[in-house]
Structure 1
């Protein structure tokens, strides 16, 4: 990326403020997920319960995301994001208090997972739909890549720091999460942009307009559903506590490093995409990236070496980053601003299903076939999805440029 576009991007002060707020929030969230996963596994030693943590976040998110997209098109998106940071900070504070007093139980973790799912249901549409309002159109792809870089920095630092701090006690992790989330809340309140509520989201009958919009545009439908099914089958995040404790024998520090490894690869790829944005054959490269994601997941599932496992996870992160940047850029460029909140809500449902429901799927198949069998089957499934989508969504496979 040349210095001129970089300077132009950094000159967008509200974008920078939101970037810092989002990075802080994601870092806290990643630390929270490491602590919750290890805490639950310490309490129950159950792969099923690890999957339930994901399911209990996914179900409320599924129910609330479309209304959240409607609200994102009617209200100030930065304020919505700020309130979501505050809600997650309250969850972290309650966990900190409960750990100090020995009150954290399986039921409490599952109950708070529901609250986290509701908060993220409102967070995701707001944070996705706000970026085009903070930067000029010609800087949008680079802004998304820079946002992705920040996210990956947080996803690298959060799990690694969370795993390290967990060795001193779960309460330490929860306390730092609380502080970071409150800081993100304050910064998000400081984000400014011209705000005009759209009249097209004036009634609740417009809640489903985002679904109709995506369904009618096969490139968007193919890109979002591709990410859903590939990560749903190929994600191994929920099983990392089992790999760290029982297969690779690395403890909570190793768990933090394993959770951070995909973000290392994603950060490297986001830097590449910031410097050299995709300009040609974007659909074909997207599908190939998903196939690489599946193959690397398969390699991780079969690995018994910590170093090789880290490498395979890093490759999954790099491949997934191509998918994320391509999909989000296509969505933002194809969607008018008055629809962005509701379309972002649809995208959030796909992301939530691939992540939280994917964690449940991993826990369920691990309970039936073992952790290794679950991850291997998921990797094979992701490769198959890439091949099928090449055939079923020719408009996506043949898409040459970001703007059609």
Structure 2
């Protein structure tokens, strides 16, 4: 077989898939986000029931995870750059298995029989908080490992597949979670989550340990800690891409309120709730197949802006809709457009980040982008309580449109972006 590094990735959409270790990496990336997002939606539905459909209680789930993830991100990125990435990921996955097992028992009615509902909620929030600690290390280790598996000429091609795997997992997890809550209940759904965590464990064993490229060169601990932040600040196209996605997800994160929308606005049950979640996954799947054959190399910055703008429109339509089918279509399109923005952003990070700084730059990304999902969930819950459910979602969509317009005006680097390796 020819060396994949010599393959023209522009003409071969499967170039990076010819690397055996990259296929295991895709399993890790997909299975982790699939299990975690499925876990989130299962716990979200349980909290929704325990709190008597309180939107603020749902928002607290995201806040409990995002606090440790953000606070520890700079330290985690620094540690990941200095140590072997595969080993860090292995420890993180084992920790996720332990946390998932704890949530499994907390959703078992017989195990928590006699305990006060408030105490059960606090225990759930506590385990979610522990998951946020682990997540601070997973994001930079995962991002860094990809560049150690794939040669640079295939970065763009690999980023398309890796981003698609992440995007599909992040959407299919909640979709399956919602359907399984209806079919087998919360408790057994959590058991399946724990089982899914075994897939990345096996895949990590099949990947060889990778070299560490970190070079301190006499820098102090504080300098090493903040180097990733300074790099992002000085590399405007990276900064703008992160900021665009962060604000869009932060204010357009209406999907976090989907359980309440399903019950209170659309008057739907668990089955319809699962179908609404699956709409976003289907949209992402469509994007993956299209972009594997049609890479976003022509004016990717403009396409990124257009995708996020369209995402904001979909959120507004979803917020205003009282029809199940229209809501489904809006979420379907939002998944398609969000996948485009994720793939472009990940390609930007892979191509623009030096090897010795990947952990720290990924940590910054997790602070300002990855955590925006949970902050968006909290913001949505808070605004829903302040403004009402529907007005808060429409407001968030309008803010997303404003962020895109502002970025287009102030960022010529984004408009002229070139992703050729």
**Normalized against structure 1, the TM-score is what?**
0.94
Alignment partner of 1:169 is 2:185? yes
2:48 to 41, 57, 61: 41
Q: Secondary structure at the match of 1:383?
A: helix
Alignment partner of 1:342 is 2:360? yes
Aligned counterparts of 1:161 and 1:48: Cα–Cα separation in 2: 24
Structure 1 residues 71-103: Cα deviation after superposition (integer angstroms, max 9, x where no partner): 121112122222222212211111112233126
1:286 to 299, 304, 329: 304
Note closer, same or farther for the CA distance 1:247–1:222 as it changes in structure 2 (3 Å cut).
Answer: same
Alignment of 1:4-403 (within 5 A): 5-6=12-13, 8-44=15-51, 45-100=53-108, 101-102=111-112, 105-167=120-182, 168-192=184-208, 194-200=210-216, 204-205=221-222, 206-399=224-417, 401-403=418-420
Structure 1 residues 55-74: Cα deviation after superposition (integer angstroms, max 9, x where no partner): 11111111011111111211
Structure 1 residues 100-121: Cα deviation after superposition (integer angstroms, max 9, x where no partner): 3126711111111111111111
Aligned counterparts of 2:9 and 2:149: Cα–Cα separation in 1: 20
Structure 1 residues 220-273: Cα deviation after superposition (integer angstroms, max 9, x where no partner): 111111111111111112201101111122222222222232222122112211
Q: CA deviation at 1:199?
A: 1.6
Q: Secondary structure at the match of 1:199?
A: coil
Aligned counterparts of 1:302 and 1:328: Cα–Cα separation in 2: 31
Q: Point out where structure 1 has 5 or more consecutive residues left out of the alignment.
A: none
Q: Secondary structure at the match of 2:388?
A: helix
Aligned counterparts of 2:390 and 2:45: Cα–Cα separation in 1: 19
Aligned counterparts of 1:163 and 1:318: Cα–Cα separation in 2: 20
Q: CA deviation at 1:132?
A: 1.7
- When the two chains are superposed, the root-mean-square deviation of aligned CA atoms in Å is 2.0
Note closer, same or farther for the CA distance 1:390–1:191 as it changes in structure 2 (3 Å cut).
Answer: same
Q: CA deviation at 1:193?
A: 5.2
Q: CA deviation at 1:156?
A: 4.1
Range 383-392 or range 90-99, more displaced: 90-99
Q: Secondary structure at the match of 2:371?
A: helix
Q: CA deviation at 1:4?
A: 7.4
Structure 1 residues 180-202: Cα deviation after superposition (integer angstroms, max 9, x where no partner): 11332232233225412412387
Aligned counterparts of 1:346 and 1:95: Cα–Cα separation in 2: 29
**Normalized against structure 2, the TM-score is what?**
0.91
Q: Is this contact kept in 2: 1:133–1:193, CA < 8 A?
A: no
Aligned counterparts of 1:73 and 1:217: Cα–Cα separation in 2: 19
Q: Secondary structure at the match of 1:250?
A: coil
Q: Point out where structure 2 has 5 or more consecutive residues left out of the alignment.
A: 1-7
Aligned counterparts of 1:333 and 1:134: Cα–Cα separation in 2: 14
Q: Secondary structure at the match of 2:49?
A: helix
Q: Is this contact kept in 2: 1:91–1:116, CA < 8 A?
A: yes
Structure 1 residues 121-174: Cα deviation after superposition (integer angstroms, max 9, x where no partner): 111111122212111222211211112232233234322322222232211011
